[in-house]
Amino acid sequence: MLNPVNPRPNFPGEEEDILKFWNTKNIFKKSIESRPKNKTFSFYDGPPYATGLPHYGHLVAGTIKDVIPRYKTMKGYRVERVWGWDTHGLPIENIVEQELNIKSKLQIREYGIDKFNEKARAKVLEYAHAWEHIVERTGRWVDMENAYITMDSKYMESVWWVFKSIWDKGLVYMGHKVMPYCPRCATGLSSFEVGLGGYKDKIDKTVTVKFQSEDDPNTYFLAWTTTPWTLPGNLALAVNPNIKYVKVKRYDKFYILAKDRLEHYKNVIGDEIVEEFNAKKLIGKKYKRIFDYYKGVDKAFEIIAGDYVTTEDGTGIVHIAPAFGEEDYRVAKESGIAFYMPVNDMGEFEIDVPDYAGLSVVSSDTNARIITELGDKALVVRDHTHPYPYCWRCDSPLIYKAIDSWFVATEKLKKQMIKNNESVHWVPDHIGKGRFAKLLEGAPDWNISRNRFWGVPIPVWACEKCNENKVMGSIKELEEATGKKIDDIHLHKIHDLKVKCKCGGDARLTGEVLDVWFDSGCMPYASIHYPFENKDKFERDFPADFIAEGVDQTRGWFNSLMVLGTALFGKSPYKNVVVNGIVLAEDGQKMAKRLKNYPDPSYVMEKYGADAMRFYLMSSPAVKAGDLNFSEKGVEEIVKRLILTYWNSYSFFVTYASIVGFKPEEIETEDILDLWVISRLNNTVNMVTEELDNYELPPAARAIEEFVGDLSNWYIRRNRKRFAAGDKAALNTLYGVLVKLSQMLAPYMPFVTEEVYQNLVVNFVSDAKESIHLTDFPVYNELKVDDELEDNMEMVRKLVEMGMSIRNEKGIKVRQPLSVINATINNNLLDKRLQNILLEELNVKGFADRIKSKNSEESSARVNSKELKLIVDLEITSELKAEGLAREILRKVQVLRKEKGLSIDDKIELYYETEDNALRNAINHPVFKEGAKVKTTKEGKIEDAHSKELAIEGSMIWVGIKKA
């Protein structure tokens, strides 16, 4: 038996009840266990940090990660999904530093690495419970009880195995390179971490410096720099052999620069060229130091060749500080120029540069002081706005600095990674073929070491005697090498462990920790402790069928997964990737708590429900790497436009089905609207299946929403009389459509569809599945499809629009019946089965094969389109006029019935009073009496009736009703 449906549903409250039902009945667990182990759909979930609450970006990715697994489960797959927590690295260390008011690595060492790391361990899951609550409230099903945690020893051990495996393949090396470096965090960063931090416009002082020639004290080489702080590290100047240079005279001084840059400097040095020459003439020439440092150095302060020097800006001569530029370091090394590092780990000048020792190189004051002390060596000083990189975690400006680091030789993997990427299905496609492909093509070797404390230690022990390296690939290996029982391999636990080298010397841990992106890139292996456990599971599920994250992860997780998957197994670790974009505030600005420019996700779910938020997000550009300006009104609109329409269709069915004691049965229908909606449903199922199989969530969502609209606004509205009469074919058709629609909608809106399913199916079918999420996704039935009927029905709806435009243009209300119309589709008369639909929609009495032309434009109207033609007879007879008035009064009396709280079956006693004969006749018209369910009609007012004075076409009538 059907339960009555609340006409004013509280969707958020009902969702809370559904959550309790799922948890009590273990529906999520059953949804996995009900599917065979030999038919799996594997999914990797990238681990977030639990150091703050989830935002809309997390919810977009999280909902994608729920819609696809729910869909695949309903398609018969076993979809295990386990949560993960990212727990290492600078994000955690920065939080602990702030709590302890620690400003540098030295202070961490003074505080104690062991105490610092234990503080970090205690902090990592601070917001875990809040995450669990919000994720559950969104309706996402994921196993959080058995979440993998990157700080767990088993996870870390698998990371060691990955490191040693690629070490054994010759893909790891120690290098001395100029790398992006964060002075605040005192560690180098990888190139894709720089991308994560992004660039911001920064105003710096630029300076064009005069470097005095050793050969001629009146001749100067001009070089331009945007980083004056690097000038104390100057050891050479570079020119491009392919560029023409000139010597320009100004008074008794001579200046050398690229010919193409003279125009830019002529106001300062003039434009009197005394000599033009090739760069080769300059190479090898010496110049005087601009600062009094590095005396006695043999190979320095000379001009060298640099093929990267351009004339796009500056002077065509580049100042070379080998310690602070990747290209500077390369060309200096090629030319044998000396190397000095005048800056310490904290980004401060060393004592080698006594004038500035202890000053921060990123301070604008330091730059200003250096420029001032250059004196007349500073030819031109200007403000310059340029994009500048910032740290992705502490938001401090980065520098480029030569450091010793461990690298993964991604250059060796590049061709295979590019090939592997070609086999990956990216949504949207342009991310994989564009942004990610270009990233792989230009990827430098990956700096994987961080000179920090809270992370997976790089498992390399270096011998103090012979410098040979010993690499550990498991805890067991380390235990055997040290003779100690080990249960935690964090840095502070193993830092002092010595390993005997075969030469007899002691090997010590090198002391770095791994880049956190290496941690998360090991997730396919480490999350299941592979290869120490779960070999069968890994071989079954690798590579993943599906992953989904934000567009920023092209430089992050997507990249680290690809590097390690290719390095270990020669293949991509994922087959399909859905990339979501950025969710912005409604005004297009970045969401920020301090600006209060967005509604909290919990508030939105409490007000509108998670289903509405989910569908809003999943039908937005954000699902396909686009930006979404989040609008609370947009979520509200989903409730009004979709959820309430769906709910009202369900409520409508329950109302009429309950009246006749409906029980579902197989009935072959011949009604044209039944056949149309069944065909329309199957085509929608086919489209949605194709789109979801291709991970195209927004078009699938739009197709479902369009069908919901058609079901309510066309099928149900057109069939009201059949439902009121208890027509079995109509009720069974609508029942079947609602069940399949609910199943199709369930991955997107799991709550409301569960509510509908419980009433429509569980209440009726003895062997029904316990939850809609344990059922199968609807299957496309081609035999039920009639494309011609759908096309013709679409034409009828267009004809209705054309007819309505005629009524509107002529000022004739829809309730006023007209006598006759003629309609053709492609010059063929409308199918007789469709004629009645058109007549009822346009409130016309008859269909004529032909309408004779009339002299007056007021008596007929014609509308043509490419495929359609409609002619309407506009002549209104007295009989038609009377019926029109009857319908006008009927509409207003129906409002009175609703106000009175009458059911659709209740009959009424009608009382009226009017001086207008036409209205008096209309009250007694059969159309009115039948529509209003009038049992008796009496003229005259009574006091106890529910009444109202009505204005009908300029005349008044008092109407009162009582339940008969």
The one catalytic residue among 406, 446, 517, 647: 517
Catalytic residue flag (residue 517): yes
Cα–Cα dist 908/816, whole Å: 24
Residue 144 in 3-state DSSP?
strand
Look up 416 and say whether it is catalytic: no
For residue 783, give the DSSP letter: G
Dist. CA 592–CA 463, nearest whole Å: 50
Is residue 557 part of the annotated active site? The answer reads yes
Q: Which of 45, 66, 86, 674 is catalytic?
A: 86
- Cα(546)–Cα(41) distance, rounded to whole angstroms? 8
Catalytic-residue membership of 229: no
Find the catalytic residue in 454, 557, 647, 714: 557
Q: Sheet of 236-239: strands edge to edge? A: 302-305, 236-239, 317-320
**Calpha distance 18→755 (Å, rounded):** 7
Is residue 593 part of an annotated ligand binding site?
yes
The structure tokens listed for 865 are 């389109």
Containing 427, the helix (H) or strand (E) segment is: strand 425-427
For the chain, the distance separating the N- and C-terminal CA atoms, rounded to the nearest angstrom, is: 29
- E strands, 760-874, where? 818-825, 828-829, 844-847, 860-864, 868-873
* Active-site residue (options: 590, 663, 721, 941): 590
Query: What tokens were used for 88?
Result: 């290492």
β strands within 252-410, DSSP E: 253-258, 272-278, 302-305, 317-320, 378-389, 399-408
Structure tokens belonging to residue 167? 């070490």
Tell me whether residue 498 is one of the annotated catalytic residues: no
Do 884 and 918 touch, CB atoms closer than 8 A?
no
Identity at 445, one-letter amino acid code? D
Beginning with the edge strand found earlier in the chain, give each strand of the sheet holding 576-580 in spatial order: 425-427, 576-580, 547-550
DSSP string, 825-837: ETTEEPPHHHHHH
CB 912 within 8 A of CB 946: no
894 annotated active-site: no
φ, ψ (nearest 5 deg) of residue 906 = -65, 130
Torsion, Cα of 780, 785, 791, 793 (10° steps): -110
Give the integer Cα–Cα distance in Å for 716 and 869: 27
Of 753, 716, 721, whose CA–CA distance to 733 is shortest? 716
- Residue 10 CB coordination number (10 Å): 11
Catalytic pick among 333, 593, 721, 938: 593
- Give yes or no: 161 in active site: no
Residues in the chain: 964
Q: Determine which one of 47, 91, 228, 747 is catalytic.
A: 47
- CA–CA distances in Å: residue 576 to residues 44, 426, 429, 432, 696: 11, 6, 11, 10, 11
- The whole-angstrom distance between residue 539's C-alpha and the CA centroid of its chain comes to 29
Residue with tokens 């970006």: 57
**Which residue, 389, 265, 402, 273, is CA-closest to 326?**
402
Backbone angles phi, psi at 788, to 5 degrees: -65, -40
CB 840 within 8 A of CB 885: no
3-class secondary structure per residue, 875-911? CCCHHHHHHHHHHHHHHHHHHHHHHHCCCCCCCEEEE
> Which one-letter DSSP state was computed for residue 776?
P
Positions of E strands within 519-647: 547-550, 576-580, 583-584, 628-629
- The type of residue at 514 is L
Beta strand 818-825 with 828-829 is antiparallel
Binding residues: 593
Binding residues for ATP: 593
Residues with a catalytic annotation lie at 47, 86, 517, 553, 557, 590, 593
